[in-house]
Amino acid sequence: MFPIRDTTASKNYPVVNTAIIAVNVLVYLLQTAQGTYLERFIFIYGLVPARYSVAELAERFTFGQQAFSFLSFMFLHGGFWHLLGNMWSLYIFGDNVEDRMGPIRYLAFYLLCGVISGLSHLALNLESPVPTIGASGAIAGVMGAYFLLYPSARILTLIPIIFIPYFIEIPAYVFLGIWFFLQFLNAAGSSGAAGGVAWWAHIGGFVAGMILIKLFTRAPSSGLTKMIRPATEKHKTPRLQSIRTSAQMDDPNIYGSIVITPEEALKGTNKLVNVPWGFHNRLVRVTVPPGIREGMTLRLEGIGRQLGDIRGDLLLKVSIQGHQ
């Protein structure tokens, strides 16, 4: 299962989430520049349990260095694919959580989830000399928050079967529930970091996210957040949209709706819509012409049902955000 995107659109641009992704990329570039000093770099800035439990190692580091590793380890990665997988998950789930919390609380929430995930790993691997690195624990916290905030959202998921890509929508609580269950199975069947994966850090981060989101959403938003909100408000709907279709028994056409903003209605736009197609979904490109109005219909020929010799069309009703 590979998540493509969720179907819950955020109302504001995720400035902090984007900044976190950018910092992770920059730190990864810094890692690649270390050359022969890479192992030393990771040992210093990664989270090494033995540095805290083995006196001979602990005395080589200052208190500040030991404390800083709980922050720096979540910005290091073991390779390009490790970085890409983590950042993609953060991109999908982080924008909605930041949208609900606001940028300031979200930043504090993300970092605290990462620290708690590190503590979870440390507690169960006290004497391990293997550095733990990666944003997975902090991102697991974001996923835990998403699990509670948006349980009815749907995750557009790619499931490759042989060479055929199948796109299906999975409820968020199912997708994330399966993910958490797999983390627990792997953790229970390993020493905690088998194969270089800190499973208990994932579990600790996810549980921390579920607990902390309850606390953080009750805290009042800061004045800075109220100042930032107007500047980060989105004026476009997501490029990829999932639609619900309907049809009548003797009508080959299928019907749905597409949501755009007033700016997109005025200037025109291009979208990808995820159309139910048998047991999976099909992605269809939709061109919205400039000047379109609320309630008008876009016809996509040949996307409907096959009834006898007739292939129907997909008729999309245009819905403009904020239109009364």
Return the minimum-mean-pLDDT range out of 75-89, 204-218, 248-262.
248-262
> Cα(209)–Cα(167) distance, rounded to whole angstroms?
28
pLDDT greater at residue 64 or residue 163? 64
Residues 20 and 147 in one domain: yes
Enumerate the β-bridge partners of residue 170: 155
Helical spans, DSSP H, in 189-324: 199-216, 223-232, 262-267
Prediction pTM value: 0.80
Number of helices (H), then strands (E), in the chain? 12, 11
Q: Report, as an integer, the average pLDDT of 243-250.
A: 84
**Closest Cα partner for 82 from 247, 172, 178, 195?**
195
Condensed to tens digits (0 to 9), the pLDDT of residues 175-214 reads 999 999 988 888 776 654 444 568 888 999 999 999 999 9
Q: Is 74 helix (H, G, I), strand (E, B) or coil?
A: helix
Condensed to tens digits (0 to 9), the pLDDT of residues 61-80 reads 999 999 999 999 999 998 99
Q: Quick one: pLDDT at residue 192? A: 46
Q: Quick one: pLDDT at residue 81? A: 92
- Tell me which of 202, 232, 262 is where a domain ends: 232
- Tell me which of 215, 232, 249 is where a domain ends: 232
Tokens describing residue 271: 């979208």
CATH number at residue 123: 1.20.1540.10
Q: Quick one: pLDDT at residue 25? A: 97
- Tell me which of 232, 261, 285 is where a domain ends: 232
Q: Quick one: pLDDT at residue 224? A: 76
In degrees and rounded to multiples of 5, residue 129 shows phi and psi of -90, 5
Tokens describing residue 52: 């805290």
Mean pLDDT of the chain: 88
**Domain limits for position 306:** 240-320
Q: Quick one: pLDDT at residue 322? A: 66
Q: Quick one: pLDDT at residue 126? A: 86
The amino acid present at 26, given as its one-letter code, is: L
Q: Quick one: pLDDT at residue 32? A: 94
Residues 114 and 33 in one domain: yes
- What is the count of structural domains for the chain? 2
Residues 93 and 209 in one domain: yes
Q: Quick one: pLDDT at residue 9? A: 79
Residues 99 and 23 in one domain: yes
> Cα(139)–Cα(149) distance, rounded to whole angstroms?
15
The amino acid present at 53, given as its one-letter code, is: S
Angstrom distances, CA of residue 117 to CA of 52, 76, 136, 171, 245: 16, 14, 9, 25, 42
Res. 161: pLDDT tops 90: no
Q: Quick one: pLDDT at residue 277? A: 64
Q: Report, as an integer, the average pLDDT of 158-163.
A: 75
Angstrom distances, CA of residue 316 to CA of 255, 288, 299, 301: 6, 10, 6, 11
Q: Report, as an integer, the average pLDDT of 115-143.
A: 92
Residues 147 and 259 in one domain: no
